[in-house]
Amino acid sequence: SVLEYFISTHGARKGLADTALKTADAGYLTRRLVDVAQDVVINEVDCGTLRGIATSALKDNEEIVEPLIDRIVGRTSLHDVFDPISERVLVAAGSEITDDVAKEIEESGIDTVEIRSVLTCEARRGVCSKCYGKNLATGYMAQRGDAVGIIAAQSIGEPGTQLTLRTFHVGGVAGSSAIESQLAAKFDGTVQFDGLRTTEYVDAEGEKQIVVIGRTGEVRIVDVANDRLLITNNIPYGSHLKVKNGQKISKGEAICTWDPFNAVIISEVTGKVKFDNVIEGVTYREEADEQTGHREKVVIETKDKTKIPGLIVEGKEQKMYNLPVGSHIVIEPDETVHNGQVLVKIPRIMGRSRDITGGLPRVTELFEARNPSNPAVVAEVDGVVSFGNIKRGNREIIVESREGLVKKYLVPLTRHIMVQDGDFVKAGTALSDGAITPGDILSIKGPFAVQEYLVNEIQEVYRLQGVKINDKHIEVIVRQMMRKVAVVDPGDTKFLEDDTVDKFELIEENDWIYDKKVVTDQGESEKLHAGQIVTLRDIREENSLLRRADKKLIEFRDANPATSTPMLHGITKASLGTQSWISAASFQETTKVLSTAAINGKSDMLMGLKENVITG
């Protein structure tokens, strides 16, 4: 028919247009990547760093996405790795983890290995061979002079043409909690609970049930004999505990179970239920359940922002529970409920259906360190959540830490709040739904967390499209994105406050100023002046001369180093901020770069590849 003909031609044409656009986009991404990483060359064999990154198998909930063996093979181990049982050395510190060694490590049951990484490499220029590991083209350790930056850029840019441009709409389940309904022990050991809030009641069968009412409880399984921690799991809110604290548990036994289809809100007290702002047709509507025909009250979004539906349970104390949109109220007004009883069910299928920005746009968004369109509100401190008032369509969430530090956040009422009143949250936890911005991760959890986040998120996009890229390529780019630091307090260095400077430049300046002294009062010296930065030896020599001549001595203090915070730049900004103005000018914004360089009287030391190719 005409309609089918139209649909098929439309599809074909769309495919072609898409491919053309995609090639252009992917080409531009490759160009930016090459530009940001072009001066990463292997310049030394070993930078001598004592830092590395802890690597374990990548898991999505409990299913292994990428096994440990794939992530550590061809890398250098940071420490000696011992077999936990026979205690023999599997790999010595600073030597390459070969295929055979990686297999042995996997089989020995070690789950985390600290490896050297480009992210922690302390080479002043480029990176060192030990931190980079095996050159994937030759299969040998990288040699001096290998242009690993350009290899990394091409490895990431080339599969870019295979990624899709469009965003897919993925409905359905957030997290695997809908599939899993229990937490099973992964090891034999002894159970220890931490930070667990529970309530007990006796159910209809006369069994005693223990229900978890806190959201930050953790269960640890420990091997008491060898005194080591085997695994830590979070215990979800509303789950029923099956084991006691200090109990022995065997592998595969259930620690707690929960309702796989509904998230629940549970009463913490026994008492009478009062409804608050629960008005038919305004904040809720009656729906009949298809299977049972049972009528339920379903909370709907209201136009009137002042009416927030809630439940109040009046017992020994009064407890208020907010009702999120889409939740089903399973009790009647004025009903008497006991503690541990379910008040509200929130079907998990509505967990979240959202557009997953997949493919190229997502990769670009990550490499450019852009903020996502609907960022989550993130807690900056560990503390207890309480809800404040509603201001202009925003709900105030207050997090108070144990030290008494109070942080306030405003979350729009249209957003789903992920925490409950009285919950304990850790710093970096999202308080509302949405994506966490890389900037937040950097400021709250620090540089390592944001590097790990970027590497994993970028890998996730490629993995969805079935493309395998080695982590080290992405690490090279992320290292370049994190080269700069912002000066917080310049101390006595040459920098200014809020300057953006190269990390290594700041370290060098601080090393230079480390044992210097600042003259506060020059006394009667003719050689040294107030404010000069000199060594202690210079001052001592001058002071001994002054002492002999019976003149006023020089007074001095220690010189202060500069303090800084790390910054995350997108690849375009990082390319334009390189030391070399020839490289920056040949990338983008040529006039601006050249005029700035001329004003600053910059000179180009021709360190990178690109400047040398240009000058010939």
pLDDT the model gives residue 575: 86
3-state secondary structure 119-155: HHCCCCCCEEHHHHCECCCCCCECCCCCCHHHHHHHH
Tally of structural domains, the chain: 3
> If you compute the radius of gyration of the chain from its CA atoms, what whole number of angstroms results?
30
Q: Any long-range contacts for 61-66 (C-beta under 8 Å, 24+ apart)?
A: 61/175, 61/176, 61/180, 62/176, 62/180, 63/176, 65/463, 66/459, 66/463
Q: Residue 527 falls within a domain, yes or no?
A: yes
Q: Residue 197 falls within a domain, yes or no?
A: yes
Supply 472's token pair: 């080290």
**Residue closest to 582 by CA, chosen among 545, 559, 612, 552:** 612
Q: Residue 577 falls within a domain, yes or no?
A: yes
Q: Residue 422 falls within a domain, yes or no?
A: yes
Does one domain contain both 430 and 489?
Answer: no
Q: Residue 194 falls within a domain, yes or no?
A: yes
Q: Could you tell me the CA-to-CA distances from 24 to 19, 36, 357 in Å, in that order?
A: 9, 19, 19
Q: Is residue 539 within 8 Å of 528, Cβ to Cβ?
A: yes
Domain extent for 497: 484-615
Spatial neighbors of 1 by CB under 8 A, at least 6 apart, are none
Q: Residue 32 falls within a domain, yes or no?
A: no
- Strand 89-91 versus strand 81-82 pairing type: antiparallel
For residue 252, give the CATH number of its domain.
2.40.50.100
Does one domain contain both 489 and 610?
Answer: yes
Does one domain contain both 494 and 430?
Answer: no
Cα–Cα distance between 300 and 281 in angstroms, integer?
Answer: 8
Q: Could you tell me the CA-to-CA distances from 279 to 298, 412, 485, 596 in Å, in that order?
A: 11, 22, 54, 64
Domain boundary among 219, 244, 260: 260
Q: Is residue 498 within 8 Å of 519, Cβ to Cβ?
A: no
Question: Is residue 364 helix, strand or coil?
Answer: helix
Q: Which residue's structure tokens are 């063996």? A: 69
Does one domain contain both 611 and 499?
Answer: yes
Spatial neighbors of 75 by CB under 8 A, at least 6 apart, are 55, 96, 97, 115, 116, 117, 133, 134, 472
Q: pTM score, two decimals?
A: 0.74
Supply 415's token pair: 């957003």
For residue 295, what are the β-bridge partners? Answer: 288
pLDDT the model gives residue 165: 54
Domain boundary among 234, 260, 286: 260
Q: Residue 399 falls within a domain, yes or no?
A: yes
Does one domain contain both 538 and 609?
Answer: yes
Does one domain contain both 523 and 424?
Answer: no
- Classify residue 197 by its DSSP letter: -
182, 219, 446, 142 alpha-carbon torsion, rounded to 10°: -70
Distance, CA of 195 to chain centre? 23
Does one domain contain both 611 and 492?
Answer: yes
pLDDT the model gives residue 370: 86
pLDDT the model gives residue 42: 92
Q: What φ, ψ does residue 153 adopt, rounded to 5°? A: -60, -40
- With 0-12 / 13-18 / 19 or more C-beta atoms within 10 angstroms meaning exposed / middle / buried, residue 286 is exposed
Residue ranges, the chain, pLDDT below 70: 60-62, 163-180, 215-216, 290-291, 304-305, 348-358, 420-423
- Classify residue 559 by its DSSP letter: P
**Residue closest to 459 by CA, chosen among 127, 173, 156:** 156
Q: Residue 225 falls within a domain, yes or no?
A: yes
Reported as half-sphere exposure (CB side, CA atoms, 13 A), residue 577 has a value of 19
Does one domain contain both 430 and 512?
Answer: no
Q: What angle do CA 266, 282, 327 make, to 5 degrees?
A: 25
